[in-house]
Amino acid sequence: MEPRCKAVIAIIATVIAFLPRIRGQQVSDVRMPSLADLLTISTNPPNEALNAFFPPSIFNAQTPLAIRYALLGAVGQYEMYAACHPVALSFFGQKDSIPSQFCTNRDDRALIQAQIFFRIMESQFPIDAKPGETFFLKIGLNPFDRSTNTSTPVGWANVIASRFLDYFSKDGWNSLGDRSKRHYRQQYQDFTNYAPVNPAHVQPRNLPFPLRWQPLTGPVDNRGLFGSQLHVVPQIGVRGKPLALSRRQFEQRRAPPLYNTPNRRKFLGRKDRALANRLIRKLFKRSANVTEEKVLVGYFWENKFFSLGLFAGFYQNLLGLGDDIMIPLFLAEMVAQHDATLVAWKEKRRHDNVRPVTLIRRLLKGKKVRAWKGLEEGVGLVDAVEWEPVVPIQPHSEYPSGSAVICTASLENLQIFLDEQVIKGNGTIPPFEMDIVPGMVPNSPVENTIKVVFNTLEEAAQSCGESRLDSGVHFEPSVPAGNSLGKGLGKIAYAHIMDLVNGRIPENCERCVS
């Protein structure tokens, strides 16, 4: 199997660990498969439901969109869990009525879950929903059924899905493209008139604002086609709707300024030049100590769908966690990541700081540096203007580290959930240990098996942020700033979802029905 295919299957397996109601047993070879069997996702071996609901195309999405995708899966799963639970409220703070047989009949339950998931994905990610449409038709289901008779599984699912379609089409992401255009709409396009102050085509030494973000230019197809970055979904930092944070809490989370005069034109101020040179020295000190293991860890944390997903799947298997834990955990996890992403993007947009590679090409022109050059060459001298980070630089501004915000919030949530719902004071959470084999980590060039061990979830969160520094995509202050922004978000998300599970409308739940 090709490494890329292995990586996709590894990611899908991770996501399925978060979707226990979809995951099921292997279909027996001695009987005709039921509808639930057909709709049950399998990774060993990969089946048609796997390719339908988790097509490879979705796993190349930028971090905010990957998190949104997982959130949509989480709310769909939770909605049926809540409807069948004796007291739990829905994502919208309602106690839904559901025919009892839908909760006990395996085929009905599988059909409802698949229908809700498909309807949401069809709206929010229509390209990635196409395989699901084809799959539905192949197994005799009608993907275009919009009936609303709640005495039928599809009708009940459609009524529930309609609430999500209405909410997520108006939550500030511009998922339908209707906020920016009337015709020829582009999903998730900015509609807030954000524009970088530095053009992509200008040389770093000639930038109008040398401490502000410049979109980078790089190869698109490695065949002579080059393109320049656009800041991905800048609108969510100002128009996105937090799910667990109040608007006041959201606005109060702010990272301190990194530079003294970030808007100074043409030249760096004396203090900022000294700071920039100090940060660059620290960056290359780290780069000169990069190892094969650090390269793997950098790629491990690069795809949050993969890395953060592995943790819940790991502890589910290790501790034998059932749906009653995993479904609320998955939703709390994704609410924490969602709000953390909005906070990070708010601050990235507000500061709009330059990436290290741009500042290095401005300040170190004509100089050589000792840095990581790749797996084949290791550490050595390289022209500073040609240096590249270990992992690709994402299309958004530098400060603060989005990874640090998201990982801090996500792993804090997992820590609290396991402590309070599983461990309950009877010991500690076991270490996370996993052998990372070649082809498992998406896009990683490492071809050796390396064991990754995190003794605590706090250690894992720290590794996530530190990996951005070892990879060279952030300056050192970005990580503690991100950690500070993310701290407490996991706890807020946990409390928010547990309120729903226990039949209470959470505080600050703007979407909830009063």
What does the pLDDT look like over 200-220, one tens digit per residue? 999 999 999 999 999 999 888
**Residue 435 CB-density burial (10 A; 0-12 exposed, 13-18 middle, 19+ buried):** exposed
**Model confidence over 143-163: pLDDT tens digits?**
999 999 999 999 999 999 999
Measured from the Cβ of residue 469, the count of other Cβ atoms closer than 10 Å reads 21
Q: Give the pLDDT confidence score for residue 2 in this predicted structure.
A: 44
Cite the residue boundaries of each domain of the chain with CATH code 1.10.606.20. Answer: 204-218+230-501
Q: What is the mean predicted confidence (pLDDT) over 94-101? A: 95
| Confidence grade of residue 464 (pLDDT, cut at 50, 70, 90) | very high
Please state, rounded to an integer, the average pLDDT across all residues of the chain: 91
Q: What is the mean predicted confidence (pLDDT) over 177-183? A: 93
Q: What is the mean predicted confidence (pLDDT) over 460-478? A: 97
Segment (H or E) for 3: helix 3-17
Beta bridge partners of 228: 217
Asked if 18 and 413 touch (Cβ cutoff 8 Å), the reply is no
Stated pTM of the model: 0.93
Residue scoring higher pLDDT (389 or 7):
389
Write the single-letter amino acid at 58.
I
Residue 236 has pLDDT above 90, yes or no: yes
16 vs 338: CA distance, rounded Å:
19
| Confidence grade of residue 170 (pLDDT, cut at 50, 70, 90) | very high
Q: What is the mean predicted confidence (pLDDT) over 175-204? A: 95
Q: Note the helical H segments in 253-388.
A: 270-287, 292-302, 304-319, 323-351, 356-363
Give the 3-state secondary structure of residue 454. Answer: strand
Give me Rg for the CA atoms of the chain: 23
Write the CATH number of the domain with boundaries 204-218+230-501. Answer: 1.10.606.20
Lowest mean pLDDT among 32-46, 93-107, 123-137: 32-46
- In SS3 terms, 78-122 reads as HHHHHHHCCCCCCCCCCCCCCCHHHHHCHHHHHHHHHHHHHHHHH
Asked if 290 and 390 touch (Cβ cutoff 8 Å), the reply is yes
Q: Give the pLDDT confidence score for residue 7 in this predicted structure.
A: 42
Lowest mean pLDDT among 56-70, 132-146, 168-182, 368-382: 56-70
How many Cα atoms within 13 Å fall on the side-chain side of residue 58? 32
Q: Give the pLDDT confidence score for residue 53 in this predicted structure.
A: 87
| Confidence grade of residue 30 (pLDDT, cut at 50, 70, 90) | low
Residue scoring higher pLDDT (304 or 208):
208
Give backbone dihedrals phi and psi of 454, rounded to 5 degrees, phi first: -125, 115
Q: Give the pLDDT confidence score for residue 514 in this predicted structure.
A: 62
Q: Give the pLDDT confidence score for residue 5 in this predicted structure.
A: 45
**Model confidence over 36-67: pLDDT tens digits?**
999 987 766 788 988 888 888 787 789 999 99
CA separation, residue 275 to residues 123, 280, 475 (Å): 47, 9, 11
Q: If you search the block for the tokens 């040179």, which residue do you land on?
A: 277
Q: What is the mean predicted confidence (pLDDT) over 69-83? A: 93
**Model confidence over 323-364: pLDDT tens digits?**
899 999 999 999 999 999 999 999 999 999 999 999 999 999
Residue 10 has pLDDT above 90, yes or no: no
Q: Give the pLDDT confidence score for residue 37 in this predicted structure.
A: 92
Give the 3-state secondary structure of residue 380. Answer: strand
Interior/surface letters 306-343, b for 16+ CB within 10 angstroms, e for the rest: bbbbbbbbbbbeeeebeeebbbbbbbbbbbbbbbbbbb
Residue scoring higher pLDDT (124 or 29):
124
